Structure 1
């Protein structure tokens, strides 16, 4: 099996516990504009790019609004929430530093807009540890399509098959696996991934404390599901 030569983190649900914040902000936005939040809305939104989720909310959930306006309004509210209280996942900073100290280049592929990616990494104090970061705003398709992960691998100069991805959501797991990466799943307790997506992971970790250089070495000898 090829060695692991780079590690690509997801952001939402892996480094920052943002999904509850996204859900709260979007739910309130929808309610304030007379829309109807459906039982599967949150699950459908997870992994979508900004263009995709704003279009979905505008057309399918609210109606009568332009996607660009929806995106601007929601992202502005997310920035304010992060400025007031950034909800980092337990062990997030340590996990990033631990992997970086192991000598592997780091990338990040996130469905968050560039504004939020840069804000979070700067607040964590780890921005300089990432060689390549990407928002799915910058590629044609969001997760579960592999576009974002493939683009980060190219920026890192490492074949996707020699990268490990760290993901939490069903669409994120599907995206990284479709790119040809070996995937470490760190399921979010409130938003667990679908079982079929979880089966795409080469390793399922209870939390970020399990993400170590030793695990990545072991992963190199593990066939990809």
Structure 2
């Protein structure tokens, strides 16, 4: 933890050099950031690919979680395969996830407490997710944060999923806040890439399973183990800057 804190401090000093924008909002990813679902999504994708005759290893699928199907499928399927059965594969995956894996999703520790702390600091809260709206509603219930979120975006709100910036852009439009006055919080490099394309700063979370190096390489300003660590370090975090 000491080593992580030291690296985090160096990144923060570098990233915020010369940046005096006031924070007005925190925009959270949810899968892998607030709820423990990344491995479950990877398993559902692996099964879906196998169902349609594609051998995709669990770790290969897992490395792409954080993207929506529109960005994930082209990694593993040719254009012809996507045209032939891409939609059917994604539909099968969605049904498989809901029936088998969604009941296994659990919230990470201290999630409601973190969002309350964010609100107590005077920031508005949004959730910007590539999940389907019905899945997102269940996630909010599982995490116990439905009454702590001002705005939400789902896959239906954006033409392209992360790492395209569409979902974050829509969240900011709903909040009525410019990108320079908001901080994104996510667990994957795709969150940071999406946020960076519109000028948002990003806090990285290790709880989704991506490495500190991959998050730092995607220009996360700081990296914390998870929501509880961000809560504990809140006053020294970018959210309090």
TM over 0.5: yes
Q: TM-score, normalised by structure 2?
A: 0.78
Match of 2:189 among 152, 167, 170: 170
Measure the CA separation in 2 of the matches of 1:20 and 1:116: 16
Contact 2:74 2:82 in 1 (8 A): no
Determine the structure 2 residue equivalent to 1:6: 25
Three-state SS of the structure 1 residue aligned to 2:107 is: coil
Is contact 1:50–1:137 with CA below 8 Å preserved after alignment?
no
**Greater mean deviation of Cα atoms: 191-200 or 130-139:** 191-200
> How far is the alpha carbon of 1:207 from its aligned partner?
2.1
State the partner residue of 1:42. 62
- RMSD of Structure 2 on Structure 1 (CA): 2.9
Residue 211 in 1 paired to residue 216 in 2? no
Q: Deviations for 1:39-66, whole angstroms, at most 9, x for unmatched residues?
A: 64432x3232233335656647977853
Q: Deviations over 1:9-52 (max 9, x none)?
A: 00111011111001111112222332110564432x32322333
Q: What CA distance in whole angstroms lies between the structure 1 residues aligned with 2:103 and 2:119? A: 28
Larger relative helix fraction: 2
Deviation at 1:152, TM superposition (A): 0.6
**Which residue of structure 2 aligns with residue 52 of structure 1?**
71
Unaligned stretches of 5+ in structure 2? 1-19
Change (3 A) 1:80 1:221: closer
Q: Give 1:98's aligned residue.
A: 117
The count of residues paired between Structure 1 and Structure 2 equals 221
1:195 is matched with which residue?
A: 214
Change (3 A) 1:150 1:82: same
Residue pair 2:168, 2:195 contacting (<8 A) in 1 also: yes
Q: Is the 8 A contact 2:44 2:101 kept in 1?
A: no
Residue 176 (structure 2) aligns with: 157
Is the 2:186–2:192 Cα contact (8 Å) retained in structure 1?
A: yes
- Structure 2 counterpart of 1:148: 167
Q: 1:41 to 1:214 in 2, by over 3 A?
A: closer
- TM-score, scaled to structure 1: 0.83
C-alpha contact 1:54 1:70 (8 A) present in aligned 2: no
Q: Is the 8 A contact 1:30 1:37 kept in 2?
A: yes
Distance 1:98 1:62, change over 3 A: farther
Distance 1:161 1:71 in 2: 35
Q: Is the 8 A contact 2:26 2:182 kept in 1?
A: yes
